[in-house]
Amino acid sequence: MNQLDFPILSLMMGLPMLAAIICLFVGAHAARLLALGTTLVLFALGVVLWANYEIGGPQWQYVERVELFGNFAWALGIDGISMMLIMLTVFLMPICIGASWESIQKRVGEYMAAFLFMEVLMIGVFAAQDIFLFYILFEAGLIPMYLIIGIWGGANRIYASYKFFLYTLLGSVVMLIAMLWMVQDAGTSDIPTLLNYDFAPEAQTWLWLAFFASFAVKMPMWPVHTWLPDAHVQAPTAGSVILAGVLLKMGGYGFLRFSLPMFPEASEQFIWLIFGLSMVAVVYTSLVALVQQDMKKLIAYSSVAHMAIVTLGLFAFNRQGIEGAIIVMLSHGLVSGALFLCVGVIYDRLHTREIDRYGGLSINMPKYALLFMLFTMASIGLPGTSGFVGEFLSLVGLYKVNSWVTLVATTGIILGAGYMLYLYRRVAFGELVHEDVKAMPDLSAREMALLAPIAAAVMWMGVYPESFMAPIRDDVGTLVARIDRAAPEGDAHLKMGQAKAVPTTLETEAGHGESH
């Protein structure tokens, strides 16, 4: 079994599933309480998971395997990377439920059921050790998200939900064909075995492209990102939080878990594609974010830019790049989630997301302004916040590979500072001109309780990232060792310095000393 002597991962999937079904049959308030209780229990279980995770222990821990389905198995197990992403999920879920406490008034039971079902799938995606189980859980997320956007979304929700559903489905179906081929070639659907199976390089090219189609849409990478702003803008606040916080991470996780270790040669072969698209994304979407009038859209575009940093880091093929990318994923999950909550807070009061309708909020909502500033800074990547750690590491890793790409990617940080500070200035600073804005009360206790934990986590990750890096260190090491054979040569062509002729006389030694 595992270090806990009970199948904790199955429990973490079974519990919310059960609660989701019950939610469908109970009243609004009971559903809220049940959902909150369940997600909190899951968070506690997540803490147990983390506390008992053996750093430096076996690569796959909490392994479960039941040959339940004939062609594939109910196989779960996590490494450090999966665990951190599961932690992110269980951390954000109670906050999502809390964020919907008052803003969702119709069909509460179904809403809570959809979120709990979503949680089952997200944990399952990160824990799946069977490639088909992964696919099923990965794709299944479309159904609850489609309903969440379509039922509880904004005015243009139908269009957004269709676009989200069809876009992501089209991206993923070809991946299934690739998986079928892989499993037939390797003779197993077990992910740990596949991770060490060497596919023929020419096959890798096609397989990589098939996986890329799926993960690039999910990530999302430019130019297939256009579903994201629509989905974000129309989704209810909690839906945006989950979408930005966790669902986008599935794309990065997919690159990390499948594309890189399973097809190292093809990954190297397509570096130009990843770098090219990511560079465009960093600059282009940042510029687009700069001119947005809708707060959610602005943050959505900033997500695309941040995710481009993730892909750049991942495809740097070295430890710093990959660790940095993972930290950016975690950090972005927290920060963008928090930013969407911040938007939700004022949206609940004024029912508009138009930036110009606000202004001067730091006067009448000081607590809000403070927290909003913290998350703005974290999004920019200010040292001391989580954003800095990840972006710095990614860029360091990337610099080892390509200085020019790093140069372009770094402009994204500057542009990021531009659009975030511009947003903050327009929302929080200036005069309180609108009467209705003046009447807005500061954060309620509930809203404080939602934002404060994220703020704490963001600071923790910024000040002492070791807590988050320790569990992933060995797994990144394994990955780097696996892809090392295909790692690209850096463009810096560093030359080892020539030591001067060893001086023997006292005079020259003194002269050498002077030169320092």
Partner 1 sequence: MDYRLSLIFTLPEIILSVSGMLLLLVAAWGGLKSARLISILAVVALFGSSAYALEFLTNPSFEFGGDAFYGLYRMDGFGSFAKLLIYFAAIVSLIIAPRFFKDVGSYRPEYPVLILFATVGMGMMVSAVDMMTLYIGLELNSLSAYVLASIIRNDVRSSEAGLKYFVLGSLASGMLLFGISLVYGFAGSTNFSVIADTLTGQLATGPLIGVVLVLAGLAFKISAVPFHMWTPDVYEGAPTPVTAFFASAPKVAAIALTVRVIIDAFGGQTSTWQQIIVFVALASIVLGAVAAIGQQNIKRLLAYSSINNVGFLLIGLAAGTAQGISAMLFYLVIYLAMTLGSFICVMEMRDSEGKPLESLSSLAGLSQTRPGLAAAFAIFMFSLAGIPPLFGFWGKFLVFDAAVAAGMLPLAVIGIAASVIGAFYYIKVVKIIYFDDPAGQIAKTGHKTENGLIGLMALAVSPLGYLTIPLLAPVTATAAQALF
The answer to whether 285 contacts partner 1 (rule: CB under 8 A) is no
φ, ψ for residue 50 (rounded to 5)? -70, -45
Q: Segment 16-75, which members bind partner 1 (CB under 8 A)?
A: 24, 68-71
The answer to whether 157 contacts partner 1 (rule: CB under 8 A) is yes
CB 8 within 8 A of CB 45: yes
Which of 51, 184, 441, 493 is the binder for partner 1 (CB under 8 A)? 184
The answer to whether 186 contacts partner 1 (rule: CB under 8 A) is no
* Residues 77-116 as x/- pattern, contact with partner 1 by CB under 8 A: ------------------------------x--x------
Within 8 A by CB and 6+ apart from 168, the residues are: 142, 217, 218, 227
Closest approach, Cβ 256 to partner 1, in A, equals 22
Which of 181, 392, 422, 460 is the binder for partner 1 (CB under 8 A)? 181
Residue from 149, 148, 138, 146 nearest 165 by CA:
146
CB 361 within 8 A of CB 428: yes
Nearer to partner 1, 143 or 432 (CB): 143
Q: What is the DSSP string of 354-423?
A: BGGG---HHHH-HHHHHHHHHHHHHHHT-TTSHHHHHHHHHHHHHHHH-HHHHHHHHHHHHHHHHHHHHH
Which of 2, 38, 129, 161 is the binder for partner 1 (CB under 8 A)? 161
| Number of chain positions touching partner 1 (CB under 8 A) | 34
Which of 4, 11, 28, 174 is the binder for partner 1 (CB under 8 A)? 174
Residue from 230, 219, 217, 468 nearest 331 by CA:
468
Residue 128: strand pairing partners: 76
The angle at the Cα of 215, spanning 201 to 47, to the nearest 5 degrees, equals: 115
Nearer to partner 1, 173 or 291 (CB): 173
The answer to whether 421 contacts partner 1 (rule: CB under 8 A) is no
Residue 64: strand pairing partners: 76
Determine the Cα–Cα distance for residues 155 and 488; give it in Å rounded to an integer. 48
Residue 78: strand pairing partners: 61
Q: Segment 114-153, which members bind partner 1 (CB under 8 A)?
A: 132, 135-137, 139-140, 142-143, 146-147, 150-151
Closest approach, Cβ 100 to partner 1, in A, equals 18
Nearer to partner 1, 101 or 181 (CB): 181
Peptide bond into 223 cis (omega under 30): yes
The answer to whether 166 contacts partner 1 (rule: CB under 8 A) is yes
The answer to whether 347 contacts partner 1 (rule: CB under 8 A) is no
The angle at the Cα of 77, spanning 126 to 135, to the nearest 5 degrees, equals: 45
Closest approach, Cβ 22 to partner 1, in A, equals 14
Tokens encoding 24? 């469908």
Tokens encoding 295? 């707060």
| Sole window of 87-95, 166-174, 415-423, 485-493 interacting with partner 1 (rule: CB under 8 A) | 166-174
The answer to whether 180 contacts partner 1 (rule: CB under 8 A) is yes
Give the interface with partner 1 as residue ranges (CB under 8 A). Answer: 24, 68-71, 107, 110, 132, 135-137, 139-140, 142-143, 146-147, 150-151, 157-158, 161-162, 165-166, 169-170, 173-174, 176-177, 180-181, 184
